[in-house]
Amino acid sequence: RTVYVNGEYVPEAEAKVSVFDRAFLMADGVYEVTSVLGGRLIDFDGHAARLERSLGELGMGMPMSRDELLTIHRELVVRNDLTDGMIYLQVTRGAPGDRDFAFPPEGTPQTVVLFTQSKPGLADSPLAKQGIRVISIPDVRWGRRDIKTVQLLYPSMGKMMAKKAGADDAWMVEDGAVTEGTSNNAYIVKDGTIVTRNLGTEILHGITRAAVLRFAREAQMKVEERAFTIDEAKAADEAFITSASMFVMPVVEIDGDAVGSGAPGPVATRLREIYLEESRKVAV
Ligand code: PMP
């Protein structure tokens, strides 16, 4: 693979980042993952806007303009002959000369890294016909989950807890209510109404979430943005998750209990189709 590091396109084996990089030592960095379908970027503007917001919340600016970021994304698609997959982007507070809790001096260059991940047939994943199984785990992450930081240890542990339990992923629960999945937003459907956690500092403001809710409302589906419990989810007709790399993915089992019929439901299935169709139309 050819990757991008601080202004240069280099073979992945030659890419270098300092051991003092703030993301490496302090998780002081943010990231974005943008899907690529048919060589085109899905919802690039949404990801760029969230990147700017995440950086702003941490007192950082954008390392370059959105147009320049788009150019690098496109260049990586071309150089890696990427058809379907993802582009990972990370921006950190840079690498001062030593380890220090205090932020480095103004003007310390940020570290900017991008790389591609090829996933042929990403949109036709057989998993979407099958649905995934989730377990519930306590949400013990920090309180600013709206900032997309690289501090992913607990979500990573959650994924392993799920695997160990024979499931695919975990939904995190705080104060009795579901926040989100380890790397996705969580939804249930009851009597035709789509329910998903309201935006706040408790969850990541998913770019796919925003698009899917817009398409749902445009299709005259009812949407409620509010907290829901695991019991409510188990008693729902359907459940699903959304993320840039999974799009809309049905959830068919929660903590070993079947959701609805135990098969992907009509609402999740339709939303997946609408999402893929509409977002492909405006892909760049
Ligand atoms: N929540 C969390 C915790 C995530 O890590 C992600 C994926 N990065 C999402 C939700 C979904 O966000 P998006 O639709 O922008 O990929």
Per-residue pLDDT, averaged over 76-88, amounts to: 98
Tokens 């900017």 -> residue:
112
Is 119 a known active-site residue? no
| ipTM over 0.95 threshold | yes
Question: Which residue minimizes the CA distance to atom 3 of ligand 1?
Answer: 183
Those residues whose C-beta lies under 8 Å from the C-beta of residue 122, and which sit 6 or more positions away, are 35, 37, 84, 85, 86, 245
Tokens 């160990």 -> residue:
164
Give the per-residue pLDDT at 251: 98
CB atoms within 10 A of CB 12: 11
**Domains in the chain, start-ordered, CATH in brackets?**
2-120 (3.30.470.10), 127-281 (3.20.10.10)
Instruction: Look at residues 168, 158, 151, 29 and name the one whose alpha carbon lies nearest to residue 90.
Output: 29
Amino acid, res. 277: E
Confidence of residue 167 (pLDDT cuts 50, 70, 90): very high
Give the per-residue pLDDT at 90: 98
Distance CA 50, CA 91 (A): 12
Per-residue pLDDT, averaged over 8-25, amounts to: 98
Q: Which pLDDT tens digit goes with each residue over 98-152? A: 999 999 998 999 999 999 999 999 999 999 999 999 999 999 999 999 999 999 9
The pLDDT > 70 percentage for the chain reads: 100
Task: Answer yes or no: is the C-beta of 243 below 6 A from any ligand 1 atom.
Answer: yes
Give the per-residue pLDDT at 228: 98
Confidence of residue 172 (pLDDT cuts 50, 70, 90): very high
Per-residue pLDDT, averaged over 46-57, amounts to: 98
**Residue 54: φ, ψ to 5°:** -55, -45
Give the per-residue pLDDT at 183: 98
Give the per-residue pLDDT at 74: 98
Q: Which pLDDT tens digit goes with each residue over 86-101? A: 999 999 999 999 999 9
User: 264-268: long-range contacts (C-beta < 8 A, 24 or more apart)?
Assistant: 264/128, 264/129, 264/130, 264/131, 264/238, 265/189, 265/237, 265/238, 265/240, 266/238, 267/189, 267/192, 267/194, 267/221, 267/237, 267/238, 267/240, 268/187, 268/189, 268/238, 268/239, 268/240
Confidence of residue 217 (pLDDT cuts 50, 70, 90): very high
Task: Answer yes or no: is the C-beta of 213 below 6 A from any ligand 1 atom.
Answer: no
Task: Answer yes or no: is the C-beta of 179 below 6 A from any ligand 1 atom.
Answer: no
Per-residue pLDDT, averaged over 14-20, amounts to: 97
| Cα 95 to ligand 1 centroid, rounded to whole Å | 27
Task: Answer yes or no: is the C-beta of 207 below 6 A from any ligand 1 atom.
Answer: yes
Task: Answer yes or no: is the C-beta of 133 below 6 A from any ligand 1 atom.
Answer: no
| Cα 210 to ligand 1 centroid, rounded to whole Å | 11
Amino acid, res. 2: T
Give the per-residue pLDDT at 216: 98
| Cα 89 to ligand 1 centroid, rounded to whole Å | 14
| Cα 240 to ligand 1 centroid, rounded to whole Å | 13
Amino acid, res. 153: L
Exactly one of 129, 148, 234, 281 is catalytic; name it: 148
